């Protein structure tokens, strides 16, 4: 009798384990195209790094620790927010309701497993991009900067775009506001990534976002960035000796100094630009390293966020489009990019979004909305 009970317990646990593994498999298969792309692209890049003589070492884990820390901070912040939200709503049993919500997020366990695997994939996407971006000036040295500067002037009726933005936003506080918005891009990108990794009610839009996101870093951030190799206005004098952007840099430095004097911080773009230049000189492969202007990935991802959010909620989508415009202005104002960098990034991102959407509808079976 005891042997029969033990046998039943073992069978029960085996059945539960098999069921759980099957649910994990099904969950991961939902993102099979995304994972397949990450695996293949990483394998190709790694093999190239082994057999080609690159001065920069490839790493699989450049962003792993940062992403795990960001995930931890995001989870902790959400817990604090939700608990105080329940208290402010005067929930009768906030602790009980909070624990119930946590259980709903964590169980069944295939949900957090899926998020963890997706984090690994994102780490590969960012690590691959940083490695390849750092190689751009080695493969194709910067040579398009002055051409893009001239095109900018031609497109804007004889004015350099930065002259127009600094005429509109002429004081240090306006520059600081644009810098805050520009840095907020990272948090917005992280937020929308977490949203689409967890929220699976609209499978087609979710897949369209994830695939366009992954491809943007490779197609825009590597292929076109290498083909149209340029450093950006903040580095023009250092690379070419041309001084046409010296007035812009002096204006930003004066504004940053003013903000420092009044204890309002500084324009963070300037030390970040110096950090990237130091990494470039050292041939480093660290977080965020690599110099590239055309096309602007800041603008590209901002446009992608707007496209995807608009599909889910038109009202919020309009704000997302406005944010993309602010990122375009900030990229020029803070000397990161030529205006044409953002224009081309917008065009290519919309094209990529449309192509991915068409391919998913034609060759995949993701529904618009899941039950």
Per-residue pLDDT of the chain (371 residues; tens, 9 = 90+): 555 555 455 557 777 777 767 877 878 888 899 999 999 999 999 999 888 888 888 888 888 888 989 989 999 999 999 989 989 888 888 888 889 988 888 877 778 888 889 999 999 999 999 999 989 999 999 999 999 999 999 999 999 999 999 999 989 999 999 999 999 999 999 999 999 998 888 999 999 999 999 999 999 999 999 999 999 999 999 999 999 999 999 999 999 999 999 999 899 999 999 999 998 888 777 777 889 999 999 999 999 999 999 999 999 999 999 999 999 999 999 999 999 999 999 999 999 999 999 999 988 888 888 76
For residue 133, what pLDDT is reported?
A: 92
Q: Are 11 and 160 in the same domain?
A: no
Query: Residues 220, 224, 226, CA angle at the centre, nearest 5°?
Result: 120
Q: Are 208 and 333 in the same domain?
A: yes
Q: Are 22 and 144 in the same domain?
A: no
For residue 114, what pLDDT is reported?
A: 87
Q: Are 140 and 23 in the same domain?
A: no
For residue 52, what pLDDT is reported?
A: 85
| Residue 336 tokens, joined | 């990161």
For residue 7, what pLDDT is reported?
A: 47
Let me know if residue 153 belongs to a domain. Answer: yes
Q: Are 15 and 140 in the same domain?
A: no
For residue 8, what pLDDT is reported?
A: 53
For residue 155, what pLDDT is reported?
A: 95
148-152 — which CB contacts under 8 Å span 24+ positions? Answer: 148/228, 148/230, 148/293, 148/294, 148/338, 148/340, 148/341, 149/233, 149/236, 149/244, 149/245, 149/338, 151/338, 151/340, 152/338, 152/339, 152/340
Eight-state DSSP code of residue 235: G
Let me know if residue 172 belongs to a domain. Answer: yes
Q: Are 315 and 178 in the same domain?
A: yes
Let me know if residue 294 belongs to a domain. Answer: yes
Let me know if residue 77 belongs to a domain. Answer: no
Q: Are 5 and 141 in the same domain?
A: no
For residue 195, what pLDDT is reported?
A: 93
Tally of structural domains, the chain: 2
Q: Are 5 and 148 in the same domain?
A: no
For residue 4, what pLDDT is reported?
A: 53
Q: Are 210 and 339 in the same domain?
A: yes
For residue 368, what pLDDT is reported?
A: 82
Q: Could you tell me if 97 and 86 are in contact, meaning their C-beta atoms sit under 8 angstroms apart?
A: yes
Let me know if residue 323 belongs to a domain. Answer: yes
Residue 292, SS3? Answer: coil
> Alpha-carbon distance 206 to 193, whole Å?
10
Length of the chain: 371
pTM: 0.92
For residue 161, what pLDDT is reported?
A: 97
Let me know if residue 126 belongs to a domain. Answer: no
Let me know if residue 10 belongs to a domain. Answer: yes
Q: Are 2 and 144 in the same domain?
A: no
**Full domain range(s) for residue 357:** 135-363
Let me know if residue 284 belongs to a domain. Answer: yes
Q: Are 7 and 150 in the same domain?
A: no
């Amino acid at each position: 009798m005891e042997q029969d009970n033990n046998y039943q317990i073992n069978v029960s646990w085996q059945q539960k384990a098999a069921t759980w593994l099957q649910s994990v498999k099904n969950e991961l298969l939902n993102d099979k195209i995304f994972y397949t792309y990450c695996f293949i692209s990483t394998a190709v890049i790694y093999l190239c790094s082994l057999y080609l003589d690159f001065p920069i070492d490839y790493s699989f884990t450049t962003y792993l620790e940062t992403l795990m820390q960001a995930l931890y901070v995001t989870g902790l912040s959400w817990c604090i927010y939700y608990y105080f939200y329940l208290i402010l709503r005067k929930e009768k049993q906030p602790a009980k309701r909070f624990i119930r919500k946590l259980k709903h997020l964590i169980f069944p366990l295939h949900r957090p497993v899926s998020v963890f695997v997706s984090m690994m994939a994102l780490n590969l996407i960012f690590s691959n991009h940083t490695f390849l971006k750092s190689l751009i000036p080695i493969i194709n040295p910067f040579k398009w900067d002055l051409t893009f500067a001239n095109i900018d002037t031609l497109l804007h009726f004889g004015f350099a775009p930065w002259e127009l933005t600094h005429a509109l936003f002429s004081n240090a506080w306006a520059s600081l506001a644009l810098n805050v918005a520009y840095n907020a891009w990272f948090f917005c990108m992280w937020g929308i990534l977490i949203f689409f990794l967890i929220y699976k009610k609209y499978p087609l839009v979710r897949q369209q976002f994830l695939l366009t996101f992954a491809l943007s870093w490779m197609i825009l951030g590597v292929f076109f960035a290498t083909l149209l190799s340029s450093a950006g206005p903040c580095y023009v004098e250092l690379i070419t000796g041309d001084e046409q952007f010296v007035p812009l840099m002096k204006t930003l430095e004066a504004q940053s100094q003013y903000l420092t004097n009044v204890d309002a911080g500084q324009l963070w773009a300037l030390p970040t630009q110096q950090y990237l230049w130091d990494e470039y000189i050292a041939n480093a492969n660290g977080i965020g390293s690599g110099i590239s202007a055309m096309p602007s990935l800041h603008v590209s991802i901002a446009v992608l966020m707007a496209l995807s959010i608009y599909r889910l909620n038109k009202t919020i989508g309009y704000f997302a489009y406005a944010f993309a415009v602010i990122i375009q202005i900030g990229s020029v104002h803070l000397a990161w990019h030529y205006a044409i960098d953002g224009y081309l990034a917008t065009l290519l991102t919309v094209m990529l979004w449309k192509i991915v959407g068409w391919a998913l509808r034609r060759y995949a079976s993701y529904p618009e909305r899941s039950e």
